[in-house]
């Protein structure tokens, strides 16, 4: 696997931009987890909405392509999703 710190740094930037683009919301990632390589090439980032530690979010990003696979957001953020 390439440099994990670089992957986390790039995935964090992409994840933060995703939440801005999709939900008009700034987030802060506080934890990461690499999925087992034999299952997927994804890194999971979890954290919360900036200035609201109670509103937890997470996102799954493919670290080969840096495409967002899925995002887990609370209902109040889903209402803000841009089409």
pLDDT in tens, the chain (83 residues): 558 999 999 999 999 999 999 999 999 999 999 999 898 999 999 999 999 999 999 999 999 999 999 999 988 887 888 76
CA distance 50 to 58: 13
pLDDT at 76: 82
pLDDT at 77: 81
pLDDT at 18: 97
């Amino acid at each position: 696997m390439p440099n994990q710190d670089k992957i986390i740094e790039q995935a964090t930037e992409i994840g933060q931009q995703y939440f801005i683009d999709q939900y008009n919301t700034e987030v802060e990632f506080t934890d990461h987890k690499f999925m087992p390589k034999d299952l997927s090439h994804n890194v999971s980032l979890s954290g919360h909405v900036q200035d609201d530690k109670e509103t937890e979010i997470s996102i799954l990003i493919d670290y080969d392509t840096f495409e967002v696979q899925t995002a887990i957001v609370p209902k109040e953020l889903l209402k803000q999703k841009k089409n």
